[in-house]
Structure 1
């Protein structure tokens, strides 16, 4: 097997496992809540802690990969994620579990920050859209099968086996890429910006934690404002340092900048959809985890089919129009979900999930292709990292918003009216997500025309 094929297979596997683990955890939340003796809305931290850890270190690790070697950082990330995943399978204390999930996120950022750069580096420009589409298909396959397989494992083997089996799969993947000797660099022999990395890490953690825990502690209210000050300090520091964490000149490219903004808002509006619908199907409609997981298969199944075709199409036609069409479809679908009640037809829910899946598939691959196609080869590493930062930060914002709204609505809830209040909160969550899609649609349209390759 050639080294190029090893990299391609390894990246495809981790592209599958990352979202598979996320969607599996979503479907397992009610069982985890029962095991830890917690309310289901409090288990949002099982997802949020992972995302905060990933988003806070992804950009620094992406830059470190450009300096020390992308394969090298990717391999180290695999070793760390194997260890933390297996620990998640056995830890008994809830706070310890959340902390390990945070460490798991830190480990996964070493993979997220390098995988796209590895793919683009080892394939030709003429196949970039197709390769990105295949990677996206693996992502959506993971999202698709996560609820289904995760629900089965949760019902028959226990939710902890989800982490155990994923840890074993990651260990196999580690040995697959361990034999690859070639490496790729984007800024070899450059100095690493430790000060900028620390500022960035603290900024992301304060912002996302402050947003998530807003209603529980008064001192948390100051965190997002401190994060904004740190953001301004980060921009100033990056302009002054000789070897910055990220070359800010890359954002002068309008296609690159607006495509990333669209991606950020898109994931902020859509990522928590699976989590919210998992709670709706299991707690409001009474489904077991396996049945709910099978039902949620509809959306990512459509995404998996559409994504490679949309990616290949964006190699020939404008990514802007294809992606914007997809964003408009997701906006309509999310607003439609704000009308969910206890008696909504499962047929209508399934049709809307398929509609949103089609929109997601049309948006993601063309938008990613526009981002990677807007920069020179020497910027592939930083562009890959920024794209991953947008995705993970958006996902973390999505879960933080859900955590915030659920904590507001369920603050005074008692067991007898908990489900009714939970259902009421879903309406406002979906309305908020719909408005975020409107903003993302404008960003997608404002990116301008890119060069069709």
Structure 2
């Protein structure tokens, strides 16, 4: 597809690409945040234990992270629009099946399949959007797509609560399936072009090895608190990852082009994303527990308080994206991470009688920080790879994000195990709970400090179109 005309004269196809990218960016966070509110209803309806309910969310994250890299490479070789349609169509079909599930473990298996389908969306949508617009406008359109992610996070608890209350939790899956079908229709009807990179073979053996390795690492880390088998699964996954890297160095058409990490802008931007999500993903979970278990708010009131963060993120992401078109993305993203660190330091001082202003200050800083970090960092990653490898670049960034999210929750689980033992949250001492959270916030703030250094270490991007 030809490069874009100047701002204000986008073609119909470019506007459709942007709309499709925004809707696809909305769907998956909307489903995740809506299901978080529906988890108790799912547990009652299907008779699931707390561990099984955790895997309703965890199975999706593990599968999505494991399939991102192969999906991105597949899009670069076979065509990103084609692979995107596979992902959206599969996502719709599996969502409908999940809405009909009558067994808890069937639902967990379907959530894993849905995560795999979502990986094909995550890996191709940003690449299609980036290919459709010139480098001088990438920050702007990526900012709009990022804002859609945060709108999904904001709308999920509200709309998910209404759907669950009036129509039952299964209606969330039906709603997502209908949105996905609408995306398929829009792409087929209004986007005639295809985007692909090199016409080369696929390293299917490497892709399978990678999926097994990353599934073992993330699944094992997520299960560290559940038994002695978790660490062994992590070790097996780590060994498989080493074998995968050695293989990628010698095969003619690798799943992962290791040479991309020789570019400091690409390598440090992905490292910054990994660290930032490791330090911030669990914050909403921790604050939800703090507001309900320590401060005594009900779930609805706690949800309304936490809305401050995603609303600010959605409001600022487009402006941050446009700003990264005018100045170095690494500078904008680094300021964002510094503000996130400030929020985490503020949260580290929370206690049973802390002022509401301290909570509001922290949420405000985190919302602004995330808004300034996400779209400029995405711009930096996708501007650092050749046009032929945009799917691989988007997949690498998505993998860093997913792995960071899993690490964030695993660190919290380890802190809770250390401070609370085997006590249920209902029976836990609120003082010990607050201490565990404050310790986690200090660790996360330290991670952000390292992330700022990684963010500033990357090289400037080349603004010449490929």
On whether the aligned pair clears a TM of 0.5, the verdict is: yes
Deviation at 1:373, TM superposition (A): 1.6
Deviation at 1:158, TM superposition (A): 3.6
In structure 1, the partner of 2:250 is 240
Q: How does 1:153-164 map to 2 (within 5 A)?
A: 153-164=163-174
| Counterparts of 2:184 and 2:416, CA distance in 1 | 38
Please, which of 444, 447, 453 is the counterpart of residue 458 of structure 2?
Answer: 447
In structure 2, the partner of 1:325 is 335
Deviation at 1:157, TM superposition (A): 4.0
C-alpha change, 1:170 and 1:279, in structure 2 (3 Å) is farther
Deviation at 1:19, TM superposition (A): 1.4
In structure 2, the partner of 1:60 is 70
| Counterparts of 1:336 and 1:249, CA distance in 2 | 40
Whether contact under 8 Å (1:51, 1:105) holds in the other structure is yes
Whether contact under 8 Å (2:153, 2:310) holds in the other structure is yes
SS of the residue aligned with 1:375?
coil
C-alpha change, 1:354 and 1:18, in structure 2 (3 Å) is same
1:304 matches 2:314 = yes
Instruction: Compute the TM-score of the two structures, normalised by the length of structure 2.
Output: 0.90
Gap runs ≥5 in structure 1 = none
Deviation at 1:430, TM superposition (A): 2.4
| Counterparts of 1:29 and 1:183, CA distance in 2 | 39
In structure 1, the partner of 2:131 is 121
How many residues in Structure 1 have an aligned counterpart in Structure 2? Answer: 452
In structure 2, the partner of 1:417 is 427
Q: How does 1:98-177 map to 2 (within 5 A)?
A: 98-177=108-187
In structure 2, the partner of 1:21 is 31
Deviation at 1:135, TM superposition (A): 0.9
| Counterparts of 2:352 and 2:104, CA distance in 1 | 31
Please, which of 396, 409, 419 is the counterpart of residue 406 of structure 2?
Answer: 396
C-alpha change, 1:280 and 1:81, in structure 2 (3 Å) is farther
In structure 2, the partner of 1:387 is 397
1:184 matches 2:188 = no
| Counterparts of 2:139 and 2:239, CA distance in 1 | 38
Whether contact under 8 Å (1:155, 1:289) holds in the other structure is no
Deviations 1:28-66 (A, max 9, x none): 444445555566676433322211000001110111111
SS of the residue aligned with 1:441?
helix
Deviation at 1:140, TM superposition (A): 1.5
SS of the residue aligned with 1:417?
coil
Deviations 1:368-426 (A, max 9, x none): 11112222222222212211221222222223333444455554215762363554433
**Greater Cα shift, 111-120 or 81-90:** 81-90
| Counterparts of 1:214 and 1:294, CA distance in 2 | 32
Whether contact under 8 Å (1:25, 1:150) holds in the other structure is yes
Whether contact under 8 Å (1:215, 1:408) holds in the other structure is no
| Counterparts of 1:137 and 1:220, CA distance in 2 | 36
**Greater Cα shift, 32-41 or 135-144:** 32-41
CA RMSD of aligned residues (A): 2.4
Deviations 1:170-228 (A, max 9, x none): 2222211122332111122x111111111111111111111111132223221222222
C-alpha change, 1:91 and 1:403, in structure 2 (3 Å) is farther
Instruction: Compute the TM-score of the two structures, normalised by the length of structure 1.
Output: 0.92
C-alpha change, 1:402 and 1:159, in structure 2 (3 Å) is farther
